[in-house]
Amino acid sequence: MKLYTYTTLFLLFIIFNTQLLAETYKMGFGSCIDQRLSQDIWLPIENENINSFIFLGDNVYGDQPSGELNTVIDAYKKQESIFPQWLGEITLYPTWDDHDYGSNDGGGSYKYKKESQEIYLDFWNIPANDPRHFQNGIYFDQLITVDDLTVHLIVLDTRYFRSDLIKFRGPYPSFKKNVDIDATILGREQWSWLEKVVTKKSDAIILVSSIQVLATSHGYEKWELFPNERTKLMNIINNSSKPVLIVSGDRHIGALYEKDGVFEITSSSLNKPISPIKLKLQKEETDPLMIGKVFKKENYGVLEINAQERSILFGLKDINGRKINEEKIILK
């Protein structure tokens, strides 16, 4: 039996858990958790007493050069045996990134993407009537009501439709921008969906992207590699009448960014930080939109929706639950 079994009681729990009468609602989030490594970070996250958790991608490491999915299936089985029981008692919001998608740096040309989606739906026990069973890609949204405050969680799929990356010859990371007018991250179907759901009535939006949106300077995967797509997304964000907080993972670092009042918080990695050898070879990462410095060890994110204050407090914490950084958005 899977850890995440949708009994009738659990379904009722989810319904009531997303429409709380309490004045606060607490979400945890993080990415990049390897089923082959220790997962001590779950203890401090449990101590946060969160209502839900966003899995930002790379929730297992099962990709292999052939792209075949047997190692992804095995990785999920291993992860299922490791996840703490309390995770099955809260609401989970999972998306994927390349290592649980099945192809390192993979996108829309990945030949097993349909099969990978079926594996995702099965592992996370997505209810049979959920739209993700009837669409290509695993994007979805959820309205979370806390007292009289409504926050709109929008979770993107940055893998299923994405055009191929353009690689430089040379050492990794080595990608260059794809300026082709037809190049895409979300694909036509998902863009159409996003333009509709973003208009839903809410007080704020939490936009989840497995890869970073605001960062521009590093050479790894990011929205900046598809500048036309990034501009399109930023136009949607900037034209919104409500505050937008972007939440991302992927990078094996934690960091905060801000552009024109739009914040992005990147939480990575839950248990797979950059190795000391790689750290010695890398230059100190900076970015004109970064707030402070990157955090290079294990970390997780927490955000708290406060209906009485009409605010969203968000930040990163280390493996001991100590605060790394913190920012607050005041809602109208």
What is the per-residue pLDDT for 15? Answer: 41
Q: Give the pLDDT of residue 173.
A: 64
Residue 3 within any structural domain of the chain: no
Would you tell me the crossing angle of helices 187-197 and 227-238 to the nearest 10 degrees? 10
245-259 pLDDT per residue, tens: 999 999 999 999 999
Count CA within 13 A, CB hemisphere, residue 108: 15
Is 2 part of a structural domain of the chain? Answer: no
1 falls within a domain = no
84 is a domain residue: yes
> Model pTM greater than 0.75?
yes
Per-position pLDDT tens, the chain of length 332: 355 443 333 444 444 445 445 689 999 999 999 999 999 999 999 999 999 999 999 999 999 999 999 999 999 999 999 999 999 999 999 999 999 999 999 999 999 999 999 999 999 999 999 999 999 999 999 999 999 999 999 999 999 999 999 988 766 668 999 999 999 999 999 999 999 999 999 999 999 999 999 999 998 999 999 999 999 999 999 999 999 999 999 999 999 999 999 999 999 999 999 887 777 777 889 999 999 999 999 999 999 999 999 999 999 999 999 999 999 999 98
Both tokens of 238, joined, read 């900037």
Residue 233 and residue 217 in contact, taking contact as beta carbons nearer than 8 Å: no
Chain CA centroid to CA 252, Å: 13
CATH number at residue 277: 3.60.21.70
Strand, helix or coil at 198?
Answer: coil
pLDDT of residue 2: 53
Average confidence score pLDDT of the chain: 92
Phi, then psi, of 233 in degrees rounded to 5:
-65, -45
Q: Which domain holds residue 255?
A: 8-330
Considering the domain boundaries, does residue 129 fall inside one? yes
pLDDT for position 171: 63
Q: Give a yes or no: residue 86 inside a domain.
A: yes
Contact 247, 262 (CB under 8 A): no
Give a yes or no: residue 23 inside a domain. yes
- The interaxial angle of helices 113-123 and 70-82, nearest 10 deg, is 20
d(CA 189, CA 86): 35
Q: How many domains does the chain have?
A: 1
Give residue 116's identity as a one-letter amino acid code: S
Residue 24 lies in a domain: yes
